[in-house]
Structure 1
């Protein structure tokens, strides 16, 4: 009697989005370490006039990642919009299944590059294929939409942060083993083969799971907006007395978009360089240390989740965002002066709550729109962040290349400044929100 209940409960869990999330992140963290180390190996013989061997290697790596990351951010724009539109028309599985197919092909591309000794530039083509599938730009809003639709307004921040927690826990596990798996090889295959094979198999399993087992909640496009869980409920006895000012909501959306773009620009630009920064002297990390460093970043998912659970009892969502931004700003500023490995982990420890802002911003945004347009709104945010990447990726790359000799950590100081600027629009939203809640309470009475 107990066994069927356990089996039924396990099957119910398997049909949720969480197993897909975990499998994808495990495969992605293995791939990230592999790509980082493969690019380093292929850049050992790089040579630029007037630059030392190490500076030439750093420039070759930054140039590759700049081009690759621009491709995977620009190409997904239209496909992600289409998938987001299909999701809001009832095809909720589309923004998840199609990008997962792109993930699989992209990982398979790097595996072939390593196995067949193909030119590294072929990864640019793999990036195009990945982008045409919608990539992360479509996949993550699809995941967040399913999580948001299954939660209430009061619990949405916690639910979305729980998704981030699972994402980080899977990344932590994958990062811890990635460096060790990278070193497993045969004389005929070389470094990274085992790691990339495992990553590809995980993505294959994830794709099959999303097609066969994943269950999604369908939301009708004709669903009444008044009954939407994303809008405040209006009193039925006097609906005309509690209007939600459209202009006010639009301003909140614009401010939240601006804050998200500034914050992601700071985080994305800093993380873009950090993976390359640790490979040069004086740190000069190995593959195992790279995996541990990535794991330290994944620990932040756990601490950010615990921070949400703790702080949300006494502060608003806006205050949560500001706490997270301040945490990242202090940690990345300290990273500017890191010269030893222990200093790197100290800097990361200051960013314990750095992942709180984005899921909380998504939570606030989802409350400004009806359920029928939630997917489109979150996809639009993800697209805006991708367009921001078209600016901050080359900007941070070129600044790092030009400051490499006199202050390599300058880009981290710049990221800290941008984060502080991102706190301004969030503070404005915080100043507006109390007045709105007070207005609705008086009218309701």
Structure 2
């Protein structure tokens, strides 16, 4: 009796989105470490005679230029495919399409980098890989698809917790992958170079996640209404959003939440995009193993953010949780501008304990401002808005970093801290609009 029950339970777990998420994130962390180190090795002899830069600054400029172009491609090309996949998901009920199709693009882009390493192809081939990745919808379609499935299987009261649980699993998979990736990158044989085994494993993981999403993934919708929790201390805790999805779109809240998400994404993605290059220059000069450890430490923020949601959600509203997360990132990234040693890097990152909380909580609030039939399209539209923001923040952060390499390379992190504080304004507006209006009666 026990064995059939265990088998049935295991099969039920396998049909959820979590196994796909873990396999994809493990493969992606392997790929990210491999790409970062391959780009560093290919840019080591970069020169800019007209600028009179040192060899280290020339390498930094070449790397930042590559990642600027690469990141712009993977953010702009997926816009139309992601929107089409979202409409297909909402209108036709093909909820697996925004997950399975992007995973095929993930797999192709990983295989291209593997060919670049094996055949010594030019690094510019990765721009073609970015186009293939984008035409499949990329992360712009994949992540809203994951969040849509998570939203459908949860009630409105538990949606923030469910989405944060997905973020936790995503971060824990990234933690494991990052710890291993640096060591796998250094493995090679007489006929294989550094990174080959790492990329082979990454491709296999993406292939398994693609097969799983097509064959085993189950779409399940829960529409039960649960009573609100008692004992909330924050007066906003039970009044941020309605208990169930509204019949009409709350346009003002949607715009405010979108603006806050865009500003916060500009700050986080812009700063972390430069951080990957920053740690490879003097005085840090990290190796592949140190890069993996640094990425793993960053993934720990998913765990601390999840704990923060579990602890604070009983006392504070979703709006307050978002503000706590933004303040956490603003303080940590500001301290990062003064980092000159590895231990200082870890101290700065430790201040980002709750930095993951804002975006999934914003998505949770956003999904409850629109009808259920528009949830997938709305979340994808938010992701598209964040991709359009990349047109601004990617070149802005890159050029600011290049312009301040000689005298203050950490200035980009101060700028990111300022943008985060600015993002707190529209969230505060949403909190003010959602606050209960007390009505007083005159006592005769």
Q: Same fold (TM over 0.5)?
A: yes
Aligned to 2:311: 310
2:203 is aligned with 1:213: no
CA distance in 2, matches of 1:212, 1:364: 31
Deviation at 1:186, TM superposition (A): 1.5
CA distance in 1, matches of 2:304, 2:9: 28
Report matched runs for 1:58-97 at 5 Å: 58-89=60-91, 90-97=93-100
Deviation at 1:188, TM superposition (A): 2.1
Report matched runs for 1:2-17 at 5 Å: 2-17=2-17
SS in 1 for 2:436: helix
Say if 2:35 and 2:113, in contact at 8 Å, map to a contact too: yes
Deviation at 1:371, TM superposition (A): 1.1
Aligned to 2:145: 142
Aligned to 2:179: 176
Aligned to 1:378: 379
Deviation at 1:334, TM superposition (A): 0.3
Structure 1 consecutive aligned stretches of length 4 or more whose deviation exceeds 4 Å: 230-234, 244-247
2:198 is aligned with 1:195: yes
Aligned to 1:154: 157
The Cα offsets for residues 26-82 of structure 1, whole Å up to 9 and x where unpaired, read as 000000000000000000110012111000000000000000000000000000000
Deviation at 1:299, TM superposition (A): 0.2
Deviation at 1:394, TM superposition (A): 0.6
RMSD: 1.7
Deviation at 1:253, TM superposition (A): 0.5
Aligned to 2:429: 428
Deviation at 1:152, TM superposition (A): 1.0
The Cα offsets for residues 366-404 of structure 1, whole Å up to 9 and x where unpaired, read as 001111100000000000000001110010000000000
Deviation at 1:218, TM superposition (A): 6.5
Say if 2:156 and 2:244, in contact at 8 Å, map to a contact too: no
Deviation at 1:231, TM superposition (A): 5.6
SS in 2 for 1:46: coil
Report matched runs for 1:288-299 at 5 Å: 288-299=289-300
Indicate how the Cα distance of structure 1 residues 391 and 233 shifts in structure 2: closer, same or farther if over 3 A, else same.
closer
CA distance in 2, matches of 1:188, 1:196: 15
Aligned to 2:282: 281
Say if 2:248 and 2:370, in contact at 8 Å, map to a contact too: no
Deviation at 1:246, TM superposition (A): 5.9
2:83 is aligned with 1:105: no
Larger helix share, 1 or 2: 1
Aligned to 1:125: 128
Deviation at 1:357, TM superposition (A): 0.1
Say if 2:103 and 2:209, in contact at 8 Å, map to a contact too: yes
Indicate how the Cα distance of structure 1 residues 174 and 107 shifts in structure 2: closer, same or farther if over 3 A, else same.
same
Deviation at 1:154, TM superposition (A): 1.0
The Cα offsets for residues 266-308 of structure 1, whole Å up to 9 and x where unpaired, read as 0000000000000000000000000000001100000000000
Say if 1:279 and 1:285, in contact at 8 Å, map to a contact too: yes
2:167 is aligned with 1:164: yes
Deviation at 1:232, TM superposition (A): 4.4
Say if 1:231 and 1:369, in contact at 8 Å, map to a contact too: no
Aligned to 1:240: none
Say if 2:152 and 2:221, in contact at 8 Å, map to a contact too: no
Say if 1:115 and 1:193, in contact at 8 Å, map to a contact too: yes
Aligned to 1:351: 352
Say if 1:33 and 1:179, in contact at 8 Å, map to a contact too: yes
Indicate how the Cα distance of structure 1 residues 212 and 246 shifts in structure 2: closer, same or farther if over 3 A, else same.
closer
Indicate how the Cα distance of structure 1 residues 385 and 162 shifts in structure 2: closer, same or farther if over 3 A, else same.
same
**Unaligned ranges ≥5, structure 2:** 224-240
The Cα offsets for residues 232-276 of structure 1, whole Å up to 9 and x where unpaired, read as 469xxxxxxxxx7968x2100000000000000000000000000
Aligned to 2:338: 337
Say if 1:92 and 1:218, in contact at 8 Å, map to a contact too: no
SS in 1 for 2:44: coil
